[in-house]
């Protein structure tokens, strides 16, 4: 029997794509043996992913919070059923923590509004309330370590409220993101809500910073990268939430609605009180 090896592809817009550039880089095992060719995505791939995110995001934001909760829970189910396969690439502990975190945010999907929104006291005959709305497209820059847990920890707060994301996965450990894409494809999550790219950070990072359609950035950055991201973000007026490279991804601080608040806009409505 000739072994059939898999061609890893990126999950963008609900399809599995190669880089438009046709480039790949080699992924190697712990003893240096060749494992697979991983797409080396270009800035044009990022642009295409943003288009896909815009297309998929509009419908996702319109879903009821209850339905978003169901779908997030379904993602956890899909990872659970292939946990053994995923555990070949990351520790079992990380897979379990990721599933827990997805279920945690599935729970928040129809509840965060009660925490983040408010009814405001005003000195006139009006109801005055503040509700949250998703920002749009969020760019995610995942760290090299914890390639599954960190990636999902960055993605979840953004998508729970109805944003769509374009994420750049870990370069040295891209395979969990490739597998994650395959699981998302069967999870009822609409195509384009989560878009996963693999490739070289230094090459794509400036485009993450300057792309006008990306409304916010989340992830890990070194001091120099942070400067570049902040500068580009100031040009295109986007929100930037960066974490330190030594972040503990298992920390319970990630399990709170305040991560969701980082990627919503507040809308305040005045409504006249009837007599």
Partner 1 sequence: MTRPALRRLLDEIGPVDATGIEERVAKYTTRSIKKQSKVFGLKLAVTMVDLTTLEGKDTPGKVASLCRKALCPHPGDDIPRVAAVCVYPSMVKHAARHVKGSGVRIASVATAFPSGQAPLKTRLAEVRQAVADGADEIDMVINRGAFLAGELGLVQDEIAAVVEACGESTLKVILETSELETYDHIRAASFLAMRVLRPGDFIKTSTGKTSGNATLGNNQVMLDAIRDHFLDTGTEIAMKPAGGIKSAKQALQFLVAVKETLGDAWLNNTRYRFGASSLLNDLLRQLETQRSGAYQAPYTFSDDSSGY
- Give Cα separations from 260 to 117, 132, 133, 201, 239 (angstroms): 12, 10, 11, 25, 13
User: Is residue 230 a contact partner of residue 71, using CB atoms and an 8 Å limit?
Assistant: no
| DSSP SS3 for 13 | coil
Considering beta carbons, is residue 100 or 212 the nearer one to partner 1? 212
- Contact residues for 241 (Cβ-Cβ < 8 A; gap 6+): 216, 217, 218, 262, 263
235 binds partner 1 (CB under 8 A): yes
Closest separation in Å from C-beta 205 to partner 1: 13
Interface residue with partner 1, options 202, 236, 267, 270 (CB under 8 A) = 236
37 binds partner 1 (CB under 8 A): no
- Contact residues for 247 (Cβ-Cβ < 8 A; gap 6+): 143, 150, 220
Considering beta carbons, is residue 46 or 179 the nearer one to partner 1? 46
Considering beta carbons, is residue 54 or 185 the nearer one to partner 1? 54
Q: Restricting to residues 38-57, which ones interact with partner 1 according to CB under 8 A?
A: 47, 50, 54
Considering beta carbons, is residue 181 or 232 the nearer one to partner 1? 232
| DSSP SS3 for 93 | helix
Considering beta carbons, is residue 146 or 207 the nearer one to partner 1? 207
Considering beta carbons, is residue 26 or 212 the nearer one to partner 1? 212
Closest separation in Å from C-beta 216 to partner 1: 13
Q: How many residues bind partner 1 (CB under 8 A)?
A: 11
- Contact residues for 173 (Cβ-Cβ < 8 A; gap 6+): 89, 90, 144, 147
Closest separation in Å from C-beta 214 to partner 1: 9
Closest separation in Å from C-beta 211 to partner 1: 4
Residue 144 CA to residue 3 CA, distance in Å, equals: 30
Phi (first) and psi of residue 28, to 5 degrees: -120, 150
Write the binding mask 194 to 213 for partner 1: x where contact by CB under 8 A, - elsewhere.
-------------x--xxxx
Binding site for partner 1 (CB under 8 A): 47, 50, 54, 207, 210-213, 232, 235-236
């Amino acid at each position: 029997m000739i072994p059939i090896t898999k061609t890893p592809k990126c999950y963008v817009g609900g399809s599995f794509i190669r880089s438009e550039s046709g480039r790949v880089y080699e992924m190697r095992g712990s003893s240096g043996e060749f494992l697979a060719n991983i797409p080396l995505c270009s800035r044009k791939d990022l642009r295409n992913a943003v288009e896909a995110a815009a297309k998929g995001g509009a419908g996702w934001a319109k879903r009821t919070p209850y339905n978003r909760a169901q779908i997030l829970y379904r993602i956890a189910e899909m990872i659970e059923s292939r946990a053994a396969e995923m555990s070949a690439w990351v520790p079992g502990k990380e897979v379990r923590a990721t599933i827990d975190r997805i279920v945690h945010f599935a729970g928040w999907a129809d509840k965060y509004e009660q925490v983040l929104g408010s009814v405001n006291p005003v000195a006139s005959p009006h109801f005055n309330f503040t509700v949250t709305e998703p920002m749009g497209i969020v760019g995610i820059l995942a760290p090299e370590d914890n390639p599954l847990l960190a990636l999902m920890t960055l993605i979840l707060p953004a998508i729970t409220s109805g944003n769509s994301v374009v994420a750049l996965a870990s370069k040295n450990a891209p395979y969990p993101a490739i597998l994650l894409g395959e699981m998302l494809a069967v999870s009822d999550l609409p195509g384009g809500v989560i878009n996963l790219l693999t490739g070289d950070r230094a090459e794509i990072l400036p485009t993450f910073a300057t792309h006008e359609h990306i409304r916010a950035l989340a992830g890990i950055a070194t001091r120099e990268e942070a400067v570049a991201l902040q500068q580009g973000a100031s040009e295109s007026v986007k929100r930037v939430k960066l974490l330190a490279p030594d972040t503990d991804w298992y920390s319970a601080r990630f399990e709170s609605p305040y991560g969701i608040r980082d990627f919503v806009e507040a809308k305040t409505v005045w409504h006249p009180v009837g007599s």
